[in-house]
Structure formats: C-alpha cells, structure tokens
C-alpha cells in the first residue's frame, strides 16, 4: 500500500495543485482507524487518479510547453568547431547547444545570446543585441 501511495505521489508531482491535494487526501486516509475504511479511502483516491489521467491524456506535452519559458538569455563561455563546420556553443548556465545549419557567424566568448523556441520543437540562437540566427539543438 505504501508503494501505491508513493507511486501516486510521483505521478501527480507534475501537477502541483493536484499533488498537494493528493498529499492531503492520503494523509487523511492514513488517519482512519478501521482497516476497511482506510482501504475504501485509498480506493477513492486511486479512482480519482485514473480520472485525472484521462482528463489530461494527450495534453501532457502542451502543459509542459506552456510552463516553459519562450526564450532564455545567456553568455557564451566556449565555442568549439564540430564536424561539418558546425559549432558547439557552451553557455554560462551549463547548457551546450550544437549548430544545425551551416551559417557563418562571428560570435565570441563573452557575447550575450538569446535562445528562443521555434516551430516543431526546434530552437534558434541569436545575439542579444540582434543579428543573424542559428538553428540549434540542445546537447546538454
């Protein structure tokens, strides 16, 4: 039963409001003394989990995308040339991005760049003060 409770909490941790509500529900169930009443309480929680999963089915990625920022700004800390004249760009936030197109840019260490979302899950990187964009893919 404890494994079920832990599993249920992990599943719903992506929905903070519902997870907090679930935590309170599980806590109140654990305080029920008769074993059958406690089991009934846990069964009701399990049924509500199924209903929540059905309600969110197919929209998981949409929810994640809505919560994520549209762009970030960071400083270039390293630039390495990879195969086929593609650049590997390391940022001060620990992220590493690889150039996907073959455009040439004159960026250097210390430049501020903006990484922004594009269509179909792709990303562009451009100088913070404007300039040409590179299509990039996050490596790390």
C-alpha distances out from residue 35 to 24, 26, 40, 70, 122, Å: 19, 14, 9, 49, 52
Number of residues assigned to the chain: 140
Distance from the Cα of residue 130 to its chain's centroid: 27
CA distance 82 to 49: 47
The confidence score (pLDDT) of residue 110 equals 92
CATH class of this structure's domain 69-138: mainly beta
Rounded to two decimals, what is the model's pTM? 0.54
Looking at residue 62, its pLDDT comes to 61
Average pLDDT of every residue of the chain = 79
Nearest Cα to Cα of residue 109 among 136, 83, 74: 74
Given pLDDT bands bounded at 50, 70 and 90, which one contains residue 61?
Answer: low
pLDDT of res. 37: 86
| pLDDT value for 63 | 62
pLDDT at 115: 92
């Amino acid at each position: 039963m404890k494994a079920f409770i832990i599993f249920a909490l992990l599943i719903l941790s992506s929905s903070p409001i519902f997870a907090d509500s679930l935590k309170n529900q599980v806590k109140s169930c654990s305080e029920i003394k008769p074993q059958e009443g406690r089991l009934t309480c846990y069964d009701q929680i399990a049924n509500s989990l199924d209903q929540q999963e059905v309600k969110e089915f197919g929209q998981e990625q949409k929810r994640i995308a809505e919560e994520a920022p549209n762009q970030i700004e960071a400083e270039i800390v390293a630039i390495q040339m990879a195969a086929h004249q593609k650049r590997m760009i390391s940022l001060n936030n620990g992220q590493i991005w690889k150039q996907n197109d073959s455009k040439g840019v004159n960026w250097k260490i210390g430049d501020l760049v903006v990484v922004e979302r594009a269509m179909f899950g792709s990303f562009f990187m451009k100088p913070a003060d404007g300039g040409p964009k590179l299509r990039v893919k996050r490596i790390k």
